[in-house]
């Protein structure tokens, strides 16, 4: 059970916002029979040609009890090219009591590579640390991937399916497959995500906790360009997780 809640924690913040403004938008997360399992706060700040995204995931209810009050914080910093956010650095910090885990990624755009630095701290002391080249290159991280999704889909307007890359998914070399719902497919998406959306899409990632080796993250976007609802499909044994915009 614990490992599935942990994966849910990682997956939920992936489905945040599309667009770029100085604002905070909140979501609640629910997970099958467990009800509300978390809260996600997102703040996006842009200043000229630069941006910063801060996302905090706080667990609630049974998930909070199982994970011992674990809190996740994610930060993406970078620049803007042709309207797209391009990540220069991405950091994931997980805090649980006296333990803290930091995954910091630096993107070298000139050499087209990603460097990951991992640090594990317990009771104020570093107990594990390493640095490595991930041997793949991406301009998105897991936050900008979805902030940029509206523009990515417009850039692939004639494509039913296309592939993107995101820093933070090193086990699959960053690969994310995007499927845009078209024609009769849209009705199936509406059953999970509601009927009022500008478009519907599916992001597939490779993850062992899914039944089908590839997990489906269904997305719906309203006319203002922000994610309205998201559903993470087929989490083993526990069904679907849902994300709903509350503010």
- Please provide the DSSP assignment of 41-54 as one string: EEEEEEETTEEEEE
CA distances from 153 to 33, 104, 109, 143 (A): 34, 28, 23, 16
**Measured between alpha carbons, how far is 25 from 178 in angstroms, rounded to an integer?**
24
Instruction: Report which of 26, 23, 79, 24 is spatially closest to residue 48, judged by C-alpha positions.
Output: 79
The average confidence (pLDDT) of the chain is 81
| pLDDT in the model for residue 74 | 94
Give me the domain span that covers residue 145: 2-245
Encode pLDDT of 82-132 as tens digits.
Answer: 989 999 999 999 998 899 999 999 999 999 999 999 999 999 999 999 999
Task: Note the residue count of the chain.
Answer: 247
How many domains are contained in the chain? 1
Sign of the CA dihedral running 223, 229, 230, 231: negative
pLDDT bracket for residue 243 (50, 70, 90): confident
pLDDT bracket for residue 212 (50, 70, 90): very low
Phi-psi region of 216 (alpha: psi -120 to 50; beta: other; left: phi over 0): beta
Percent of the chain with pLDDT over 70: 79
Asked whether 232 and 215 are in contact (CB, 8 A), the reply is: yes
pLDDT bracket for residue 17 (50, 70, 90): very low
Cβ within 8 Å of residue 93, ≥6 positions away: 72, 73, 74, 75, 100, 101, 102, 103
| pLDDT in the model for residue 124 | 93
> Taking 70 as the threshold, does the pLDDT of residue 13 lie above it?
no
Encode pLDDT of 172-186 as tens digits.
Answer: 888 889 999 988 999
């Amino acid at each position: 059970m614990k490992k599935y809640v942990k994966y849910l924690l990682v997956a939920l913040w992936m489905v945040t916002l599309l667009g770029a403004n100085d604002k905070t938008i909140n979501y609640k997360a629910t997970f099958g029979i467990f009800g509300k399992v978390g809260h996600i706060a997102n703040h996006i700040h842009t200043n000229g040609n630069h941006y910063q995204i801060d996302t905090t995931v706080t667990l609630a209810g049974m998930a909070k009890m199982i994970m011992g009050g674990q809190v996740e914080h994610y930060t993406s910093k970078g620049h803007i090219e042709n309207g797209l956010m391009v990540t220069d650095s991405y950091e994931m910090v997980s805090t649980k009591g006296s333990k803290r885990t930091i995954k910091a990624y630096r993107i070298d755009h000139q050499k087209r590579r990603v460097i990951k630095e991992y640090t594990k701290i317990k009771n104020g002391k570093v107990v594990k640390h390493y640095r490595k080249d991930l041997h793949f290159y991406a301009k998105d991280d897991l936050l900008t991937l979805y902030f940029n999704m509206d523009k990515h889909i417009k850039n692939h307007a004639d494509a039913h399916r296309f592939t993107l890359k995101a820093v933070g998914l090193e086990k699959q070399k960053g690969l994310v497959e995007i499927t845009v719902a078209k024609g009769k497919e849209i009705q199936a998406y509406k059953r999970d995500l509601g009927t009022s959306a500008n478009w519907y899409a599916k992001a597939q990632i490779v993850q062992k906790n899914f039944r089908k080796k590839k997990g489906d993250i269904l997305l719906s976007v309203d006319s203002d360009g922000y994610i309205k609802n998201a559903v993470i499909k087929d989490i083993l044994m526990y069904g679907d997780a849902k994300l709903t915009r509350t503010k």
